[in-house]
């Protein structure tokens, strides 16, 4: 129960951090969808080598996964730091 009490002490900063992570995920979705449709158009197009198609698809997955991960980590670390300063 000690962990729950500690969490409740820091909720003032952590809850907005979690909500900001959710909002950033929602705001990134249209950008990610635009890139996904752009890559799909290239994938279905003629004359593009399969190696380029594969590289684009892999880059898309890695870039957006990395972006979402580090954005989430940055927001939550900031919120946690602020909770210790308060």
Give the integer Cα–Cα distance in Å for 63 and 14: 26
pLDDT of residue 27: 96
Segment 1-30 mean pLDDT: 94
pLDDT of residue 63: 95
Q: What's the whole-model pTM score?
A: 0.82
Q: 20-72, pLDDT tens digit by residue?
A: 999 999 999 999 999 999 999 998 988 999 999 999 999 999 999 999 999 99
Nearest-5° angle of CA 34, CA 27, CA 54? 35
Q: Which residues are CB-neighbours of 47 under 8 A, at least 6 positions away?
A: none
Give the integer Cα–Cα distance in Å for 20 and 73: 12
pLDDT of residue 45: 86
pLDDT of residue 4: 92
Phi, psi of 49 (to 5 degrees): -60, 150
pLDDT of residue 86: 74
Helices (H), 1-86: 2-44, 50-85
């Amino acid at each position: 129960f000690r962990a729950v009490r500690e969490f409740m002490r820091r909720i003032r900063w952590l809850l907005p951090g979690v909500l900001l992570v959710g909002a950033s995920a929602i705001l990134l979705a249209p950008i990610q969808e635009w890139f996904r449709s752009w890559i799909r158009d290239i994938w279905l197009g003629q004359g593009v080598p399969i190696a380029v198609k594969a590289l684009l698809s892999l880059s898309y997955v890695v870039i957006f996964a990395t972006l979402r991960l580090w954005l989430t980590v940055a927001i939550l670390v900031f919120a946690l730091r602020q909770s210790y300063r308060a």
